[in-house]
Amino acid sequence: MAKSHGSLRGIEAKIEYHPVFEELGSLYESWKRSALNWMQTEKLSESVVEKRLMKQFNIQWAWADSIATEATQCLSQLKTAKTNNIAKLELQIQAKTNAAKKLITKLEKTLKLATKKGFPHIQARNKFAHQLLGLKSKIQYLQRLKRKLKKLKNTERLHVCFGSKKLFNAQHNLAENGYQTRQEWVFDWRKKRSGRFFCVGKSQSGGGTMMKVFPLQEDGLYQLQIQVPRPLQDKYAQKIQLVFSVYDRSGRYRSSDLDYALNNLKPITISIFRREHKRDNWYIHLSTYVPEIPVVHTRKNGCIGVDFNADSISVTYVKWDGNIEYLKEIPYKWKNKTTGQRQASMRNSVSQIVELAEFFECAIAIESLDFTKKKSKMSEESKVYNDMLSNLSTGMFREALESRCRRFGVELIKVNPAFTSVIGMINYMGKYGLNSGTAAALVISRRALKLSEKIPKCLLKPEDVNKHDWSHWRRVASFIKLHRIQRTQLFQWKKALEGILTHSLWAEHELSQQVHIETGEPQTHLQSPMANV
């Protein structure tokens, strides 16, 4: 399906049950696994696989086309997953290697001192022994990662477990997984691998070939026509007709989108599947195209900056001249939540943000963040940081926001995330009485409006005059991180100066101007920057 058709839209609804679903789902998934196997073992092309499916299983071309298309997509996803896993392992190996080198250097210094003077107390000796064991475990884990990487690179046949790996492994521990007999597990295993079938859409009446959709006279009701594969026609006839309903939701025009696709002969890709967690009800999902919605809410009317935090989403609206107009904190709970619950909570938050953009008729700005590298090095970070990072759903949030912005014609701007938190804390947190999240969101929105962020003159050095603003902020950010200056120290302008200027190690930065500690204004007369502290 070509992108020229318009904007892709998904429509999902519950459909009445028919016995053909069970058998067709089982056969379809079996045919798909065979097609994927041929592509990997015999290196067959998609067109050759289509012909072989038609000949070997006696099915129509359109079913063979859908199966071969899905098998091709599955193989492409496996190759992408292999590439991503290799990159992840390489990052993990690099992080572990660097950590091991640092630990070795630290242990060498400790051992050198201990050789001359001995350990000062028994706790120091025990700590040294514990660190030696830690080094040994790091090296062993590093060796395992290297073996895993080598094996993955040499693997040609890519494996995927249809039916979930967790359920497959349950057969080895039946009682622990709630099964009394193996037959019970086999029933669940076959059910898990047979609950879906799929048909690629075509630009013709009904939007497809083997599965077509037609509107009924009653508003919101549609008819699904399924052309049954030849192996099942003797039992279920050649064609089956089922009825389902599509009604509009808040902020979504599902029936009008489907009517547009049907009236304009847009391709409609149809998937029928079972939802086990919803009492085994069957659903229909239609993927089709609607006209592209023009962007009407732009940065001309200002911008809403969004900062994604561990437990909340900070939102700040800035007018076109760079002044703050509105701010909001949207709480977001991710702990002890399932993936579905997180997605629902995220969609609600995104809906609130886009509604604000519609109200102010402005754009939305977010940071172009990628936590892939950070997550690959999580084992070298603290437990609290790892807990937060592993549960952050930045990718999910970004996808949901992009989708909703396209749907409502809101301009979405991605900005460089460099030093947004530091700039917000130093320049705006105390000035406007903000927290660190809303201050960072303010910087994000100003950056999207192409407004610069100057560093306070008291923090400049003489040689900084011709440098880029970010080089100044990089120095301040490094200093704050190195000396672990608390954010609470940076809440007020006075506290910011106390947190930075009064630090004894800041003297080496050779401040260009002295400042008054109460006002933050430069002082013209010669005076030590420490005098007013």
Confidence at residue 509, expressed as pLDDT on a 0 to 100 scale: 45
Whether residue 442 is found in the same domain as residue 315: yes
Higher pLDDT, 159 or 498: 159
For the stretch 408-425, pLDDT in tens is: 899 999 998 888 888 888
> Does residue 124 lie in a domain region?
no
- At 412, which CATH number? 3.30.420.10
Confidence at residue 389, expressed as pLDDT on a 0 to 100 scale: 56
Whether residue 417 is found in the same domain as residue 475: no
Average pLDDT for 28-55: 95
Confidence at residue 346, expressed as pLDDT on a 0 to 100 scale: 86
Whether residue 392 is found in the same domain as residue 485: no
Confidence at residue 326, expressed as pLDDT on a 0 to 100 scale: 92
Confidence at residue 381, expressed as pLDDT on a 0 to 100 scale: 55
Q: CA 45 to CA 37: how far, in whole Å?
A: 12
pTM confidence score: 0.75
Average pLDDT for 186-212: 91
Confidence at residue 140, expressed as pLDDT on a 0 to 100 scale: 92
For the stretch 496-506, pLDDT in tens is: 555 555 554 45
Q: Which of 116-120, 127-131, 389-393 has the highest mean pLDDT?
A: 127-131
Percentage of the chain lying above the pLDDT 70 cut = 82
> Does residue 302 lie in a domain region?
yes
Whether residue 514 is found in the same domain as residue 432: no
Whether residue 426 is found in the same domain as residue 485: no
Q: Which domain holds residue 513?
A: 457-523
What per-residue string of b and e applies to 202-241 under the rule 16 or more CB within 10 Å gives b? Answer: beeebbbbbbbbebeeeeeebebebbbbeebeeebeeebe
Query: Is the pLDDT reported for residue 267 higher than 80?
Result: yes
Between 235-244, 290-299, 463-472, 500-509, the lowest mean confidence (pLDDT) is in 500-509
Higher pLDDT, 272 or 417: 272
Give the distance from CA 326 to its chain's centroid.
27
Query: Is the pLDDT reported for residue 276 higher than 50?
Result: yes
Q: Phi and psi (nearest 5°) for 130?
A: -65, -40
Higher pLDDT, 473 or 241: 241
pLDDT band at 519 (very low <50, low <70, confident <90, very high): very low
Confidence at residue 392, expressed as pLDDT on a 0 to 100 scale: 57
> Does residue 173 lie in a domain region?
no
Count of the separate structural domains present in the chain? 2
Confidence at residue 511, expressed as pLDDT on a 0 to 100 scale: 42
pLDDT band at 287 (very low <50, low <70, confident <90, very high): very high
Confidence at residue 518, expressed as pLDDT on a 0 to 100 scale: 39
Whether residue 402 is found in the same domain as residue 368: yes
What's the residue count for the chain? 533
Confidence at residue 400, expressed as pLDDT on a 0 to 100 scale: 87
Query: Is the pLDDT reported for residue 45 higher than 90?
Result: yes
Confidence at residue 76, expressed as pLDDT on a 0 to 100 scale: 95
Confidence at residue 306, expressed as pLDDT on a 0 to 100 scale: 93
Q: Which two tokens stand for residue 4?
A: 């020229």
Confidence at residue 403, expressed as pLDDT on a 0 to 100 scale: 87
> Does residue 505 lie in a domain region?
yes
Query: Is the pLDDT reported for residue 15 higher than 90?
Result: yes
Whether residue 338 is found in the same domain as residue 315: yes
Whether residue 424 is found in the same domain as residue 486: no
Between 356-370, 403-417, 480-494, the lowest mean confidence (pLDDT) is in 480-494
Whether residue 502 is found in the same domain as residue 410: no
Residue that terminates a domain, selected from 415, 448, 481:
448
Q: Which of 71-85, 108-122, 239-253, 384-398 has the highest mean pLDDT?
A: 71-85
Confidence at residue 525, expressed as pLDDT on a 0 to 100 scale: 43
- Closest CA relative to residue 447, chosen from 426, 475, 417, 469: 417
Higher pLDDT, 527 or 18: 18
What region, left, alpha or beta, does residue 280 occupy, with left being phi > 0 and alpha being psi -120 to 50 degrees? left
Query: Is the pLDDT reported for residue 313 higher than 80?
Result: yes
> Does residue 278 lie in a domain region?
no
> Does residue 428 lie in a domain region?
yes
Residue that terminates a domain, selected from 395, 415, 448:
448
Q: For residue 236, what are the CA distances in angstroms to 21, 216, 223?
A: 11, 23, 18
Confidence at residue 490, expressed as pLDDT on a 0 to 100 scale: 66
Query: Is the pLDDT reported for residue 247 higher than 90?
Result: no
Query: Is the pLDDT reported for residue 442 higher than 60?
Result: yes
Average pLDDT for 344-357: 90
Q: Which helix (H) or strand (E) holds 308?
A: strand 298-308
Query: Is the pLDDT reported for residue 370 higher than 80?
Result: no
> Does residue 310 lie in a domain region?
yes
Residue recorded with tokens 């067709």: 24
Whether residue 435 is found in the same domain as residue 338: yes
407: three-class secondary structure by DSSP: helix
Query: Is the pLDDT reported for residue 224 higher than 50?
Result: yes
Q: CA 258 to CA 213: how far, in whole Å?
A: 9
> Does residue 288 lie in a domain region?
no
Whether residue 468 is found in the same domain as residue 512: yes
CB atoms within 10 A of CB 508: 7
Mean pLDDT, the chain, whole residue set: 83
For the stretch 453-464, pLDDT in tens is: 887 776 666 666
Residue that terminates a domain, selected from 413, 448, 483:
448
Whether residue 415 is found in the same domain as residue 509: no
